[in-house]
Amino acid sequence: MTNPAQQPALLRLPSDQEASGRTLGFEEITKLTEAIDSGCLTSTKGNFVKSFETGFAKAVGAKHGYACASGTAAIHCAIAAINPEPGDEIVTTSITDMGALTPIIYQGAIPVFADVDPNTYNVTARTIEAALSERTKAIIVTHLFGNPCEMAEIMALANARNIPVIEDCAQSFLTSYDDAYVGTFGAIGCFSLQQGKHITTGEGGVCVTNDDALARRIFLFINKAWGYGDANPDHYFLALNYRMSELQGAVAFAQLPKLQGVVDSRIRGANELTRRISGLKGIETPAMSSRAIHTYWKYCLRVDGRVIPGGAVALAKMLKERGIMSAPRYIQKPAFACEVFREQRTFGNSRFPFNLARPEAVNYDRNKFPGTYEALEGVLVLPWNERYTQQHIDYIADALETAVAKLTEAPAAATV
């Protein structure tokens, strides 16, 4: 058995769920105090949300930016701006956050799942193409974990068919592909400011676009479709109140100048871990395109279960003993295997909008998604944030080396 004396002391890693792994402080408090002193906490009158929107759009290189209540709300705004007819199809990915999917249903459209590349966990032009139909109204691509999709091929496909692309950038702040930031390739880019994202307001979201007409619809959808500033304003169409408050706006505005530093630090740490663990048996470091800059929302390993007995699950168990809380499988099952899709539980017993769906669009047969199952089987998601120092990276690298050595050593030697 392991002699505790041989084990170096446990090191507590910074966590994005608390101050240790977040870049929040004096600047946020100062802006919050200003917001409260002003007495105006709504973005319809205050200036923090507006300033954040302008600054954020500029930071990612987009013409318009609109803040809203969450990343889920941002996706909902984007879909509402594109305005599908009931039963229209929106192609999306089988590995993503539920907040990127339920808004499709709320707008009466059918999510049609594309498979993913098992090495990057992202949809590709090829997997999207296989999911297109006459009824495809939009494509949502998720740049998962901070690693961009192959946007050149995806945009070529979408442009040839004249289908708008929504980019889910919730995990990919300042992620670039060629010389532009993600969020600016498609018609609309959506971001989340939830607790665990690159920058945060606890809850919050942003949409960016270069298209004036879509920008107008996003703005209206956030504001109950009330035409603020118009000569004869009215509630023009069905919409919600998805506004961000000035309290969140103040924090967002203070977070913005920190974003580049946060991203740089995450990349620096990730590159260092990659350098340390490259060549470890049965483990692959993040795969990315030569055209991409990955900004590491998380750091994912691909674990080869044929080399490492027990695969990602066994490795996670050993890391946990060292206080490293990794997540094998990321989401436990493909999104389409969740009850909301499988049982079509939506509005009353209507099953709307699934009652309008083509059978093939809601056929979630396992054989259609080989990349998805392979991706979830092999992935091990390491927690990541900008506060990791060399000491933390060394600690993780050492823990991985030790775990891989133990798991792969010959059975005879394992019974010492």
Ligand X SMILES: *Cc1c(COP(=O)(O)O)cnc(C)c1O
Q: Cα–Cα distances in Å, from 172 out to 119, 145, 149, 274?
A: 17, 7, 11, 19
Residues 79-108: x/- map of binding to ligand X (CB under 6 A)? -----------------xx-xx--------
* Strands across the sheet containing 283-284: 283-284, 299-303, 379-382, 327-328
Minimum CB–partner distance for residue 203 and ligand X (Å)? 6
Pairing of strands 110-114, 89-93: parallel
How many residues line the site for ligand X (CB under 6 A)? 14
Of the ranges 28-36, 78-86, 168-176, 315-323, which one interacts with ligand X (CB under 6 A)?
168-176
In whole angstroms, the minimum distance from the beta carbon of 72 to ligand X comes to: 3
Q: Which is nearer to ligand X, 341 or 395 (CB)?
A: 341
Which residue lies nearer to ligand X by CB, 97 or 272?
A: 97
- Choose between 194 and 346: whose C-beta lies nearer to ligand X: 194
The answer to whether residue 142 forms part of the interface with ligand X (CB under 6 A) is yes
How near is the Cβ of 195 to ligand X at its closest, in Å? 9
Nearest position to ligand X, beta carbon: 71
Choose, by CB under 6 A, the member of 124, 171, 175, 184 that binds ligand X.
Answer: 171
Q: Kindly tell me which of 92 and 315 has the beta carbon lying closer to ligand X.
A: 92
Spatial contact of 301 and 380, defined as CB atoms under 8 Å apart? yes
Q: Which of 115, 168, 246, 386 binds ligand X (CB under 6 A)?
A: 168
Of positions 94, 124, 192, 326, contacts ligand X by CB under 6 A = 192
Q: Which of 110, 140, 154, 170 binds ligand X (CB under 6 A)?
A: 170
Choosing from 60, 66, 68, 70, the residue that interacts with ligand X (CB under 6 A) is: 70
Q: Is position 72 an interface residue for ligand X (rule: CB under 6 A)?
A: yes
Residue 205 makes contact with ligand X by CB under 6 A? yes
Using the rule CB under 6 A, is 194 a contact of ligand X?
yes
**Binding string, residues 22-61; x marks residues near ligand X by CB under 6 A:** ----------------------------------------
Return the number of the residue (148 or 311) whose C-beta is nearest ligand X.
148
Binding residues for ligand X (CB under 6 A): 70-72, 96-97, 99-100, 142, 168, 170-171, 192, 194, 205
